[in-house]
């Protein structure tokens, strides 16, 4: 999965640090990430030295994000500054991070994107409209006018692999360009337990009931500012699918010995499907 970066480790404890010129940073605009183009055409994370500006002039645009193996990583909020100011820096789709070494860069970048969205959407106080300010000692935004404090937003998501004897229910989205088969998933509602959300999502999207939920694992998923919790469950009752066509284009039972392949191995969906491909690899027995 995308977070499996061992032996490296993402250390999220907030630190009040001033960046050095050799420190790396992430910067995002319109879903793209700023990268340095090397002489051989490869790409890598930029450092503050690439900006050719004193740290003092960009300090207010800089936010400490986290450390990777004690290496500090920052977010640079460039706003409307364009990359054409620099010869070696350009914005690329965030998926390009998947091809950059070291391997932790992709996960770090998506986590940075998650935090970047939070800072971007909380410039002003949602209570009184005044400007929010960063707390230099911990990860929070404060409105000094009304005292409102905002913490990073994380949306919980449940993902459910529904088993019916030797078959797995797989679906395709109705409103997305993705063509691969996926598992049922959805956001947790206020007041729900994770297990209640799993049962509700399966019934709403496929019209079937489930039982014997078994926790599989979890995954931070910065693409949607989420954390995904995966469950494996048994069918409870009829296997006749009643499709919610607003959410899904198709839902079918697939033999566990011949399951469709995920397009990428970075997701918990991939791990769950592979674990269920044959009985010996996992699932409910």
Express each pLDDT in 152-203 by its tens digit.
999 999 999 999 999 999 999 887 766 789 999 999 999 999 999 999 999 9
**Which candidate, 30, 20, 133, places its Cα nearest to that of 78?**
30
Residue 123 pLDDT class (50, 70, 90 cuts): very high
> Alpha-carbon distance 259 to 170, whole Å?
9
| Domain boundary residue, one of 144, 169, 185 | 144
> Encoding tokens for residue 223?
């693409």
Q: For the whole model, what pTM was predicted? A: 0.89
Region for residue 20 given its phi and psi (left: phi exceeds 0; alpha: psi -120 to 50; beta: otherwise): beta
What average pLDDT score do residues 83-106 get? 86
Does residue 2 sit within a domain? no
Residue 7 pLDDT class (50, 70, 90 cuts): very high
The sign one gets for the Cα dihedral 272, 276, 281, 282 is positive
Q: What is the mean pLDDT of the chain?
A: 91
Do 134 and 159 lie in one domain? The reply is: no
Do 185 and 242 lie in one domain? The reply is: yes
| Domain boundary residue, one of 144, 173, 197 | 144
> Encoding tokens for residue 33?
């990430």
156 vs 79, residue with greater confidence: 156
Among 34-43, 120-129, 240-249, 260-269, the range scoring the smallest mean pLDDT is 260-269
Does residue 149 sit within a domain? no
User: Is residue 259 classed exposed, middle or buried when 0-12, 13-18 and 19+ CB atoms within 10 A define those classes?
Assistant: middle
Residue 280 pLDDT class (50, 70, 90 cuts): very low
Q: Which domain holds residue 198?
A: 155-281
Q: How far is CA 272 from the centre of its chain?
A: 17
Residue 212 has pLDDT above 50, yes or no: yes
Name the 3-class secondary structure at 31: coil
**Which candidate, 203, 190, 278, 261, places its Cα nearest to that of 236?**
203
Do 214 and 104 lie in one domain? The reply is: no
**Which candidate, 190, 192, 191, 172, places its Cα nearest to that of 182?**
172
Do 211 and 127 lie in one domain? The reply is: no
Q: Which residue has the tokens 């998650």?
A: 114
Do 206 and 108 lie in one domain? The reply is: no
| Domain boundary residue, one of 87, 120, 144 | 144
> Alpha-carbon distance 278 to 104, whole Å?
30
Do 222 and 99 lie in one domain? The reply is: no
């Amino acid at each position: 999965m995308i977070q499996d970066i061992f032996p490296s480790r993402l250390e999220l404890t907030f630190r009040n640090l001033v960046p050095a010129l050799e420190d790396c940073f992430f910067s995002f605009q319109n879903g793209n990430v700023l990268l340095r183009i090397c002489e051989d055409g490869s790409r890598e994370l930029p450092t503050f030295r690439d900006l050719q500006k004193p740290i003092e002039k960009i300090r207010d645009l800089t936010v400490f994000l986290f450390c990777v193996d004690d290496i500090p990583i920052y977010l640079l909020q460039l706003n409307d500054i364009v990359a054409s100011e620099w010869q070696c820096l350009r914005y690329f789709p965030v998926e390009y991070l998947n091809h950059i070494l070291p391997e932790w860069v992709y996960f770090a970048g998506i986590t940075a994107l998650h935090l970047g969205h939070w800072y971007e959407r909380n410039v002003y106080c949602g209570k009184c409209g005044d400007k929010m300010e960063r707390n230099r000692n911990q990860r929070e935004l404060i409105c000094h006018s009304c005292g409102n404090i905002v913490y990073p937003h994380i949306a919980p998501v449940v993902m459910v692999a529904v088993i019916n004897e030797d078959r797995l229910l797989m679906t395709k989205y109705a409103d997305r360009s993705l063509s691969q088969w996926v598992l049922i998933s959805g956001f947790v509602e206020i007041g729900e337990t994770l297990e209640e959300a799993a049962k509700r999502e399966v019934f709403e999207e496929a019209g079937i009931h489930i039982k014997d939920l078994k926790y599989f694992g979890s995954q931070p998923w910065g693409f949607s500012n989420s954390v995904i919790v995966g469950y494996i469950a048994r069918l409870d009752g009829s296997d006749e699918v009643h499709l919610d066509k607003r959410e899904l284009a198709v839902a079918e039972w697939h033999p566990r010995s011949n399951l469709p392949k995920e397009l990428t191995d970075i997701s918990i969906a991939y791990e769950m499907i592979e674990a269920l491909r044959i009985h010996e690899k996992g699932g409910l027995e």
